[in-house]
């Protein structure tokens, strides 16, 4: 019996295409917006430290003060990340480099059809092209479903993109293997998995995803907020994210970040179970920046309620009242305590805590 391949294709959420491009490249939900924002902050601080040590006048120099006034050089208020953030994320998590395809010597090492993946960027938009089962797929987060690019057309497509002003970055080899089993699909969100057989047979709305047997984008444009809920009572006449202007997307993100949390049950109602072992089916990894400034990483079960996360943070800190935020822009998750970690889309997230 031949292997069944599944293609992972995250769709656009606000202006977080850089995050989706990385996840589509590695074929798993490996990076959250919060994690990338954290990397951006670290890079900003490294740049400032370098300027302080090397510019005449140090922290009082004109260049340093100008850099401070300009804000982050690695992420803007809309969630657009720099190439250095994407490169740093790939290097730290998968030990992969992401050189520009035009960089001297890169094209001499291997034919373009032998490369495993690409990240393309123009202005504020990023998208991935990935080889799965010896086929290249366009995994642009603004398109409805993965689209095949033939080996014959790949070089011409890349040339056309560069002529249109795109920068193309590549991964020569050693990307994580594509999904060929149910267990491997636990590394991604269920609604984003597509059965390759259906894509190749030309099925449209009947193409199979892991979440169900219908096209997961039939509800596109139904007012999906940055946190995944429906706005304005779930009406279906709001504009889909893919057709919004940058100003509209930014307004949506800011509205989500300012929304007041609903009342939530007490943390004492949730019991912290033993941490799942590495490799346990259904286990997910969550990173923390705790209220005292320390960092931690722990595994939970996808079916654990979000309140268990609060119980864990409380066990690591003094018993003061804590607030936890996740996502980008960071949003209070207190109203989601009764939801499962999977439903709250917190798998792989960076969660920031503070005392209140």
Q: Say whether 352 sits in a helix, a strand or coil.
A: strand
Q: Within a 13 Å sphere around the CA of 144, how many CA atoms are in the beta-carbon half?
A: 14
The reply to whether 125 belongs to the active site is yes
Set 125, 133, 151, 317: catalytic member? 125
The reply to whether 9 belongs to the active site is no
Q: Say whether 112 sits in a helix, a strand or coil.
A: helix
Element (H, E) at 17: helix 17-26
Set 17, 120, 170, 179: catalytic member? 17
279: nearest Cα among 299, 304, 302, 297:
299
Q: Which residue has the tokens 């057989």?
A: 197
Taking CA atoms, 328 is separated from 63, 114, 278, 293, 312, in Å, by 29, 35, 28, 19, 22
**Alpha carbon distance 209, 79 (integer Å):** 28
Set 23, 80, 140, 170: catalytic member? 140
Q: How do beta strands 283-289 and 350-355 pair?
A: parallel
Q: Which residues are catalytic?
A: 17, 125, 140
């Amino acid at each position: 019996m031949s292997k069944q391949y599944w293609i992972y294709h995250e769709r656009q959420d606000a202006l977080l295409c850089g995050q989706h491009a990385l996840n589509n490249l590695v074929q798993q939900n490996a990076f959250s917006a919060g994690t990338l924002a954290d990397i951006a902050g670290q890079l900003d601080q490294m740049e400032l430290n370098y300027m302080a040590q090397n510019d005449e006048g140090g922290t009082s120099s004109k260049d340093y003060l100008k850099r401070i006034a300009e804000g982050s050089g690695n992420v803007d208020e809309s969630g657009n990340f720099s190439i250095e953030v994407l490169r740093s994320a790939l290097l730290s998590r998968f030990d992969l480099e992401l050189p520009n395809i035009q960089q001297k010597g890169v094209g001499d090492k291997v034919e373009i059809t032998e490369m495993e993946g690409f990240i393309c960027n123009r202005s504020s938009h990023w998208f991935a092209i990935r080889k799965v089962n010896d086929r290249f797929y366009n995994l642009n987060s603004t398109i409805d479903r993965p689209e095949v690019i033939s080996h014959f057309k790949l070089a011409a497509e890349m040339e056309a993109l560069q002529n249109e002003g795109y920068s193309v970055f590549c991964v020569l080899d050693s990307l994580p293997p594509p999904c060929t089993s149910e267990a491997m699909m636990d590394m991604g969100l269920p609604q984003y998995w597509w059965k390759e057989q259906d894509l190749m047979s030309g099925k449209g709305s009947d193409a199979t995803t892991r979440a169900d047997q219908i096209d997961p984008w039939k509800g596109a444009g139904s007012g999906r907020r940055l946190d995944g809920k429906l706005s304005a009572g779930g009406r279906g006449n709001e504009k889909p994210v893919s057709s919004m202007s940058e100003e509209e997307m930014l307004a949506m993100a800011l509205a989500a970040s300012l929304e007041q949390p609903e009342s939530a049950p007490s943390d004492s109602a949730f019991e912290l179970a033993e941490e799942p072992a590495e490799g346990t089916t259904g286990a997910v990894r969550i990173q923390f920046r705790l209220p005292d400034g320390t960092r931690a990483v722990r595994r939970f079960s996808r079916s654990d309620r979000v309140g268990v996360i609060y119980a864990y943070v409380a066990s690591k800190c003094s018993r003061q009242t804590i607030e936890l935020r996740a996502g980008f822009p960071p949003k209070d998750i207190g109203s989601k305590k009764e939801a499962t970690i999977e439903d709250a889309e917190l798998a792989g997230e960076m969660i920031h805590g503070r005392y209140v």
